[in-house]
Structure 1
Amino acid sequence: MRVFLTGGTGYLGSAVLDRLVAEGHQVTALIRDQGKAEAVRARGAVPVLGDLADADAVHRLADAADGVIHLAAPGDDSSARIDDAAATHILAALKGTDRPYVHTSGLWVHGSGAAITESTPMNPPRLTAWRVPIVERVLSTPGVRGAVVAPAVVYGRGGGLLNLVASGPRTQGDAPALTMIGHGEQHWGTVHVDDLAALYVRALESAPAGSYFIGASGVNPTVREITEAVSRAIGLSGRVAPEPVARTLERLGLLGEALLLDQQAGGDAARRILGWTPEQPTILEDLVANRLAATS
């Protein structure tokens, strides 16, 4: 399949690109930095210099593809506008073709919940509230085999939010402790980046139109458990300290609001519909192996 991929040089995008190439797909990756072109070629894809805000380029590349995976996100105040525009141009190019389009959301849009499934109502924090109407449009556009993947907290390959945890404040004294995000009793849904990449490729290849998948391994440790494992990985012997919620919000802003959500999810729809099975080490097992960019 000829696949148009956005975000192919990012943390998740690199894993998805590798998986696509490994399974024989021909990948065209939109890149913003010409300096990354050789790295993309080395991974087996064709780089195209451009920007998600370039309507003509996005439409043209989507129109020329057999399917599209959209992963790119600026991660700043322009995220809502850019993501909406990209989805609009991709859907316009694919409408009426029944070609697949896999769009990215996130588990955070469901808010807190002890058993979040694909049917759990959306109750997003302010950081990701803009995702909801775009998701609804992707799932309902006629003539497009639209699917949405909503990843949990992604880890593995030394990347992801674990590095934010690792770079958190330390307490003072001879035996410093790593500060947790909040009180630490909230759960995070988790998924290994390589398992998540496999889910994206399966969704591209076979997801029915209107499919919505939570990308979660079913392993939902508490932030305390995660931070203790990170603490051991960075040489603090598992020592951790809670942080008042108000201080977390002051330190991390809207991101802190999202990270304070208490979420547990299993990703059952992907297992049932796509036959997806997470195979990589759990987040705590991965940390035992000291796989953190901050410690390498």
Structure 2
Amino acid sequence: MSATDINEKGTNMHVFVTGASGWIGSATVDELLTAGHRVTGLARSDTSAAAVQAKGAEVLRGDLDDLEALRRGADAADGVVHLANKHDFAHPEVSDAAERAAVETLGEALVGSGRPLVVASGVARLAGDRAATEADPNPAVGPHSMRGGGENRALDFVDQGVRTVIARFAPTVHGSGDSGFVSLITEAARRHGAAAIIGEGSNGWAAVHRTDAARLVRLGLEGAPAGTRMHVTAEDAVPTRDIARAIGDALGVPVTTIEPADAVDHFGFVGPFYAMEMAATSTATRDLLGWQPTGPTLLEDIAAGAYTAARS
């Protein structure tokens, strides 16, 4: 199957998007609308609803705990992109339970239809100390595992006539306005007056620019085969020591080294993630969908002030 064949199968769809006003979701809504799709975005607040409407998308009010709203959104759509997540790092069991319930609700609504369900996941903890590939299974199984085992639960629906596609995102989906991990690491450097490297800083983080991520989500929705695991990663492994040095240069602060045991004290909850190996390749994804990233690299974004200029 060629990329052309895949892309031609997904035109003029009505797409239900959860997380439609979020960092990745808002870019995905733009991408889908530009490609000619109709979009309905889940919105939990007046502010989110206004942001979704301003883009030209329709709004369905609700949140991840409103399973009836999720069901209605999926029932009315030709395909679903599930990007929302509570990200309650203080109470992960809450996020995990909500994620599993949402995936099950969306999947059940699509059973027997052949319609696509794109579910967000990540590359963390897939392959230990090497770069993860699309062939690596996700070890998170069951409702009490990471993200509620949502990736594997979503794939269960393939045998029930759902075209499940997993989007495994890099730990940093970067760009100007990002408030994720790199923003938190930058704020720690600002707070301490030094950009810290944990240990040798040899562990690598996969990275992808926000616009490239949104384009790949669209391509997967439009025609990736059922059971596909896409790696939304443009750079396989940016060494965390290079990230720290780039942040130090951008802020004009020195670079220091801290011990892994001090990571939480220095960075907060993001410390253990910053110390993890989260490298991942996307070779199979690119070959399948003809996706080629075109956005700036993570270090280019940092150097351009994506994480520092607005706060200077």
Q: Give the Å deviation of 1:289.
A: 1.5
Match of residue 66 from structure 1: 78
Moved more, 2-11 or 103-112: 103-112
Match of residue 301 from structure 2: 286
Match of residue 151 from structure 2: 135
Task: Tell me the number of residue pairs that the alignment of Structure 1 and Structure 2 aligns.
Answer: 288
Match of residue 97 from structure 1: 113
How much is the aligned-residue C-alpha RMSD, in angstroms?
A: 2.1
Match of residue 186 from structure 1: 203
Contact 2:74 2:80 (C-alpha < 8 Å) held by counterparts: yes
Contact 1:165 1:181 (C-alpha < 8 Å) held by counterparts: no
Q: Give the Å deviation of 1:264.
A: 2.5
Q: Give the Å deviation of 1:183.
A: 4.1
Tell me, in whole angstroms, the C-alpha distance in 1 between the residues paired with 2:18 and 2:102.
10
Q: Give the Å deviation of 1:110.
A: 0.9
Q: Give the Å deviation of 1:171.
A: 8.7
Structure 2 unaligned regions, length at least 5: 1-12
Is 1:45 the counterpart of 2:57? The answer is yes
Given candidates 208, 213, 225, the residue that maps to 2:242 is 225
Q: Give the Å deviation of 1:121.
A: 4.5
Matched position secondary structure for 1:116: coil
Match of residue 202 from structure 1: 219
Contact 2:138 2:151 (C-alpha < 8 Å) held by counterparts: no
2:306 partner amino acid: R
Given candidates 67, 92, 99, the residue that maps to 1:83 is 99
Match of residue 8 from structure 2: none
Match of residue 259 from structure 2: 244
Match of residue 150 from structure 1: 168
Contact 2:127 2:136 (C-alpha < 8 Å) held by counterparts: no
Contact 2:16 2:73 (C-alpha < 8 Å) held by counterparts: yes
Match of residue 11 from structure 1: 23
Match of residue 272 from structure 1: 287
Q: Quick one: structure 1 residues 293 and 148, their matched pair in 2 at CA, closer, same or farther if it must change by over 3 Å?
A: farther
Q: Quick one: structure 1 residues 111 and 251, their matched pair in 2 at CA, closer, same or farther if it must change by over 3 Å?
A: farther
Moved more, 163-172 or 15-24: 163-172
Contact 1:165 1:180 (C-alpha < 8 Å) held by counterparts: no
Q: Give the Å deviation of 1:211.
A: 0.7
Q: Give the Å deviation of 1:109.
A: 3.5
Contact 2:97 2:148 (C-alpha < 8 Å) held by counterparts: no
Q: Give the Å deviation of 1:269.
A: 2.0
Tell me, in whole angstroms, the C-alpha distance in 1 between the residues paired with 2:241 and 2:191.
16
After superposing on structure 2, the runs of 4+ consecutive aligned residues of structure 1 that deviate more than 3 Å are: 121-124, 169-172, 180-183, 249-255, 293-296
Tell me, in whole angstroms, the C-alpha distance in 1 between the residues paired with 2:146 and 2:257.
30
Q: Quick one: structure 1 residues 82 and 140, their matched pair in 2 at CA, closer, same or farther if it must change by over 3 Å?
A: same
Superposed CA offset, 1:196-251 (max 9, x none): 11111001001101111111113422111111111222232xx2111211111345
TM-score (norm 1): 0.90
Tell me, in whole angstroms, the C-alpha distance in 1 between the residues paired with 2:233 and 2:197.
22
Tell me, in whole angstroms, the C-alpha distance in 1 between the residues paired with 2:266 and 2:127.
21
2:153 partner amino acid: R
2:175 partner amino acid: G
Q: Quick one: structure 1 residues 69 and 170, their matched pair in 2 at CA, closer, same or farther if it must change by over 3 Å?
A: closer
2:223 partner amino acid: S
Aligned-residue identity in percent:
37
Q: Give the Å deviation of 1:117.
A: 0.6
1:209 partner amino acid: A
Match of residue 261 from structure 1: 276
Tell me, in whole angstroms, the C-alpha distance in 2 between the residues paired with 1:144 and 1:207.
12
Moved more, 47-56 or 284-293: 284-293
